[in-house]
Structure 1
Amino acid sequence: MLVRRWLKRDEGSAAVEFAIIAPVFFLLVFAIFETSLFYFKRHSLRYLVFEVSRELQTGHIQKAGDPETLFKETVCEKSSFLFDCDDIFVDVRAFNRLSDATFPPITFDGDGEPSNFTFDPGRQEQIMIVRAVTNFSFITPMIKSIFQPDGENVIITGASITKNEAFGCTGEC
């Protein structure tokens, strides 16, 4: 008799149902948030590459006394609040013809930094290829198991191909 009355009571059932559903709900909310952050960072990196490529295309970087330093400063200046400047690695290569343009596969050193990136801003009317990479690590277990099954960081990339304008000679023409 006492057990029957206890089984018929429904006070607290909402709390029990919430306790069952809440972990799944919060996992989905965090997964949506984290995936959105990943795609936003990817888009922001691609926009950053577009912006710094424009600085190269116009010859602004090449005309500086120290082009590599100015380029790094420009990358830092134009990067959004999502990026730490030291975590963005940029590969800049110049080619005379588009058919000559190649990118070797990215190789990483022991610290997880690209070891084969170069900085060659090119001369006027050369083809410029700019590639940037940064690392991203997921926190949500479900998303991490999908995107990072080996435990390594996900590499976000952005690239741009432009032709330098006729901005005049810098050094040798």
Structure 2
Amino acid sequence: MSPLSTRSGSQGRRRREGAAAVEFALVATPFFFLIFGILELALVFVTNAVLENATLSASRMIRTGQADVENLEAGAFETALCGQMGVLASGCEDRTTIDVRVIPQFRNLTPPDPLATGEMNESALTYVTGDPGSLVLVRVWYAQPLVTPFLSQAVSRVSSGDAILSATTAFRNEPYDG
């Protein structure tokens, strides 16, 4: 008889009882990083969809002339935009950057990129709503903070590690009485 066959079954099981805990410890950390990364990426996509909708809704005030009639300044436009963000409205005004400008045509447009240097440079951004019939470009950037380390390295364009989400719409102002 071999020496292994003389052991009782309970002694063999006791030697393997901790194996599941060790295997779980090896797999748990990458697994939880993956789960948290997926959840955070889902939050980024939801935030981007909400930002797109808020940008379209707030831009309607410019397109219909309401912003011009009510002398809506950039800060008030940003407040209106953040009011459309729903549950994501807290801290929205601190995270949002807007650019509203009149454009000569819809094609071959190259407005300045405020993220060209890797940091948000607001010096070239404007807030001009135009006149009735003007072509207007509205761009909004929203800094979404990221927590998951690998996701912030993969998604972020700025040194702060935030994901910079953007929403853009272009339209012709309606013929309103300005």
Structure 1 length-normalised TM: 0.80
Letter of the aligned partner of 2:167 in structure 1? G
**Is the CA contact 2:157–2:164 (under 8 Å) kept in the aligned structure 1?**
no
Q: Deviation digits for residues 33-53 of structure 1, max 9, x if unmatched?
A: 111111112222222211111
Q: Distance in 2 between matches of 1:35 and 1:66?
A: 34
Q: Deviation digits for residues 23-42 of structure 1, max 9, x if unmatched?
A: 12111110101111111122
What are structure 1's unaligned runs of at least 5 residues?
A: none
Pair 146,158 (structure 1): closer, same or farther in 2 beyond 3 Å: same
Letter of the aligned partner of 1:35 in structure 2? L
Residue 34 of structure 1 is matched in structure 2 by 40
Tell whether 2:13 aligns with 1:13. no
Pair 76,13 (structure 1): closer, same or farther in 2 beyond 3 Å: same
Pair 75,148 (structure 1): closer, same or farther in 2 beyond 3 Å: closer
- Describe how 1:82-161 pairs up with structure 2 within 5 A: 82-83=88-89, 84=91, 85-99=93-107, 101-106=109-114, 112=120, 114-148=122-156, 151-152=159-160, 153-161=162-170
Letter of the aligned partner of 2:79 in structure 1? E
What are structure 2's unaligned runs of at least 5 residues?
A: none
**Is the CA contact 1:93–1:122 (under 8 Å) kept in the aligned structure 2?**
yes
How many matched pairs? 167
Pairwise CA RMSD of aligned residues? 2.9
Structure 2 length-normalised TM: 0.78
